Amino acid sequence: MVKKSIFTTKKIAYAAIFIAISVAINTMRIGSISFGGFPIIFSGYAMGPLMGFIVGGLADVVGFLIRPSATAGFNPLFTLTSALTGAIPVIITKLLGDKYPNYKLWKIFIGILIGQTITSVVMVPIFISLLTGKNTVWYYIYRAAAKQIVSIPIYAILLKAINDTVTKHFDFI
């Protein structure tokens, strides 16, 4: 029996591409609007939750090195949320019974909804509030929720469309 490696050369190369795309998109953001989380989420769907977790964490670190935060220094709490962004949606979608590359749109939507709610809507506002020492958690929760109301359906539709097209030509696993 041949044991299949999690870290193949192909997966490492694809992970590097997803990291680069995420960093590039985040670097070009307009204000607080960015779609840098999309490549992280897509990497989890394409290569599995572990690789999505790794891509998310590394994208955060590399992104910080290229564009340091103007308001605070590096914080591993935000790296954790970025890493979980790449893992949670695909875990949820798999728990709903879908497997690579055949994901149903509604299951992708549920996975991204739960993942983005946990990371962007709950964890990030709590960490910002803890780090600033200000009781601004509800302000940031409402602000993040408003952004995610728009982002989640866009991410789900884009992911389904890109996945269905790209997996005809590339095998990420």
**Would you state the pLDDT for residue 32?**
65
Q: Cα–Cα distance between 69 and 75 in angstroms, integer?
A: 10
Q: 126 vs 6, 103, 129, 131, 134, CA distance in Å?
A: 33, 32, 5, 9, 10
Nearest to 45, CA basis, from 3, 8, 94: 94
Please return the burial class of 108, using the count of CB atoms within 10 Å of its CB with bins 0-12, 13-18 and 19+.
buried
Domain ranges of the chain: 9-166
The answer to whether domain 9-166 has CATH 1.10.3720.10 is no
Sign of CA dihedral 138, 142, 67, 23: positive
Q: What is the pLDDT of residue 50?
A: 96
Tens-binned pLDDT, residue by residue, of the chain (173 aa): 566 777 899 999 999 999 999 999 887 766 666 788 999 999 999 999 999 999 999 999 999 998 887 566 788 999 999 999 999 999 999 999 999 999 999 999 999 999 999 999 999 999 999 888 888 899 999 999 999 999 999 999 999 999 999 998 888 87
Q: According to the model, what pLDDT value does residue 9 have?
A: 92
Q: What is the reported pTM?
A: 0.92
Specify which residues 102 forms β-bridges with.
Answer: 99
Predicted confidence at residue 7, as pLDDT, reads 86
Output the pLDDT for position 70.
Answer: 56
pLDDT at residue number 133: 82
